Amino acid sequence: MMGDDMMSTPDDPNVIFTVNGKASLAAPPLLVRQGERVRLRFINASAIQKHVIRLEGHTMKITHVDGNPLAAA
């Protein structure tokens, strides 16, 4: 049985987040034009950990979960 103490935290040095295989500051910025629509695919390979994704100043819309489209609202 796994308790909350088994979960890692964002400041855990053993946790590495990558973007296209590059960790932290090694990942190049995504350059887009103002007003341009961009589609991003986020993959969480962990079965036990969730990740909060924030893009300051931007609005995100989730369209699919686990490869399945969400019902239109």
Q: What is the pLDDT of residues 8-50, one digit of tens each?
A: 555 666 667 777 778 777 778 888 898 898 888 888 777 787 7
Q: Which helix (H) or strand (E) holds 22?
A: strand 22-23
Report the predicted TM-score, pTM, of the whole model to 2 decimal places. 0.55
Predicted pLDDT at 2: 43
Q: Is 4 helix (H, G, I), strand (E, B) or coil?
A: helix
Predicted pLDDT at 10: 56
